[in-house]
Amino acid sequence: MRFASLCVAIAAAVAMPLAAPAIGAALPAADSADLAPPAPGLTVERIVMVYRHGLRAPLDTEIGAASYARQPWPVWATPNALLTPHGREGMRLLGRYDRSLFTSLGLLAAQGCSDERNIEIYTDSDSRSIASGDELREGLAPGCQIATRHKAPDTPDLTFTANAPGSAPFDGNTALASINAYTHGGPGALIAPYRAQIGELEKILGCRAADDQAGCGIADIPSRLTADRNGLRLEGPIDVTSGTAEVFLLEYAEGMPMADVGWGRAGIGTLTEISRLHALLFDIYDRAPYMARRTAAELGPRVRALLTDAAGPKVMMFVGHDNNIAALASLLGATFQIPSYGREDPPIGGALGFELLADAKDGQRYVRVFYQAQTLDQLRDLSPLTLATPPATQILSPRCAQGPARLCSADALAALLTWPGQRPLSQPENRP
């Protein structure tokens, strides 16, 4: 079936990506888009999922606004940067849901280990990514002999890390030009529309009263972005607020008592607002064309190969980081917003998905891109996930998408993950 004819034949309507809500606005309802083939004759051949690792304790240097807080920060029982027990269970719930989803799409049997060869999991080499892959596997195929593959622990992996061994030399001037063009003026221009969100963050920190117009002055810190052959250096409000906002989301998702989530000053609506501050960091480091191609230097071509090569597993799961997803989405020209998160903030444990469909009539292949993630409340409550009560799922609209089902031809999507100067792919590790 020709692509244009297929688009005409598809009548299924799916929800558009959600717009960022204004402060005080009601949160959007969870989207539960249907991933079943959108037209007769189409079958699902493969699913590729790129996950952000699950819920972790804060990183050592993550809280850029630590000195602005008027109260001591909560102490986490889990060491810095590691997956928490709550986060482990959250990933296992996603794995169980994925088994139900992939079964409904005809990719896997409902239970048992007969599909072991049809499932592959490849993670980054840090502890939280490996543990997330292990929990996904236990939810997806409990008791089965499926290895979570990765490099030796804490060995930089170019699949997930832009400056790992084998990466191209960093061109600081090209990076700055790309970022300034993408953000229409650099970090100062990028953060300028978000004074209200910074004000909300300052209220949580306790350095700004509800009626205080001056606040803590974070929005007035000069923005500065420089680069040399070793990478970027960012100073200013984005650097101060991004990781800080993320830590408050982590507190909520971890299930901490509300009195400990932002010291009792961070409700779910406020968290959604400041989540956007976390997402802005990726506009600097991962979304501008030059930076996106560096971050996805290996992951982009690996996804492309899985969508254009007949060989490969029916289910491929990569487990990495939020910036990996931000870079891929930018290369595709796709935007997203999961309910309870800010616009283009990759949710904890969420996944950017690629659904490869084949037309039985002519063998043509198409790709549908989607985003799947637990809302903050689903993760906080460890809500069971089923086909009747799924995680939030949104069909995205990459630049190649056509028709109401927003399908891309496989070749058109592959072209978005192809750029001049790509290096040959290295071989992933084959170690458990």
Asked if residues 358 and 42 have their Cβ atoms less than 8 Å apart, the reply is yes
Alpha-carbon Rg for the chain in angstroms: 21
Q: What is this structure's pTM?
A: 0.93
Asked if residues 55 and 90 have their Cβ atoms less than 8 Å apart, the reply is yes
E strands of 128-230, at which residues?
148-149, 224-228
Q: Distance between CA atoms of 122 and 325, rounded to whole angstroms?
A: 15
Closest CA to 1 of 402, 400, 359: 359
- Going from N- to C-terminal start, the domains of the chain cover 3-170+289-416
Q: Which two tokens stand for residue 131?
A: 């543990």
| H/E segment holding residue 269 | helix 268-285
| Chain centre to alpha carbon of residue 4 | 31
Q: Distance between CA atoms of 186 and 225, rounded to whole angstroms?
A: 8
| pLDDT, tens digit only, all 432 positions of the chain | 555 555 544 433 333 332 333 333 333 334 557 899 999 999 999 999 999 999 999 998 999 999 999 999 999 999 999 999 999 999 999 999 999 999 999 999 999 999 999 999 999 999 999 999 999 999 999 999 999 999 999 999 999 999 999 899 999 999 999 999 999 999 999 999 999 999 999 999 999 877 776 779 999 999 999 999 999 999 999 999 999 999 999 999 999 999 999 999 999 999 999 999 999 999 999 999 999 999 999 999 999 999 999 889 999 999 999 999 999 999 999 999 999 999 999 999 999 999 999 999 999 999 999 999 999 999 999 999 999 999 999 999 999 999 999 999 999 999 999 999 888 887 777 665
Amino acid 428: pLDDT: 72
What's the one-letter identity of residue 236?
Answer: G
| H/E segment holding residue 52 | strand 42-52
Q: What is the DSSP string of 65-110?
A: TGGG-SSPPPPPSSPTTSBPHHHHHHHHHHHHHHHHHHHHTTSS-S
Asked if residues 205 and 194 have their Cβ atoms less than 8 Å apart, the reply is no
Amino acid 30: pLDDT: 40
Q: Distance between CA atoms of 3 and 151, rounded to whole angstroms?
A: 40
| Domain range 3-170+289-416, CATH architecture | 3-Layer(aba) Sandwich (3.40)
Closest CA to 39 of 14, 8, 10, 15: 10
Torsion angle, CA of 343/344/345/348, rounded to 10 degrees?
110
Q: What secondary structure letter does DSSP report for 25?
A: P
Closest CA to 292 of 260, 245, 328, 241: 328
Closest CA to 247 of 267, 261, 237: 261
Q: Which two tokens stand for residue 365?
A: 């292949």
Q: Distance between CA atoms of 409 and 430, rounded to whole angstroms?
A: 31
Closest CA to 119 of 317, 304, 354: 317
Which residues is 358 bridged to in the sheet? 43, 365
Closest CA to 31 of 19, 14, 47, 44: 14
Count other C-beta atoms under 10 Å from residue 48's C-beta.
25
Q: Distance between CA atoms of 51 and 352, rounded to whole angstroms?
A: 6
Q: What is the DSSP string of 345-414?
A: -PPTT-EEEEEEEEETTT--EEEEEEEEE--HHHHHHT----SSSPPEEEE---TT-BTTTTBEEHHHHH
Q: Which two tokens stand for residue 69?
A: 């807080």
Amino acid 26: pLDDT: 34
For the chain, the straight-line distance linking the first and the last C-alpha, in angstroms and rounded, comes to 42
Torsion angle, CA of 264/268/269/273, rounded to 10 degrees?
90
Q: Which two tokens stand for residue 280?
A: 């802005």
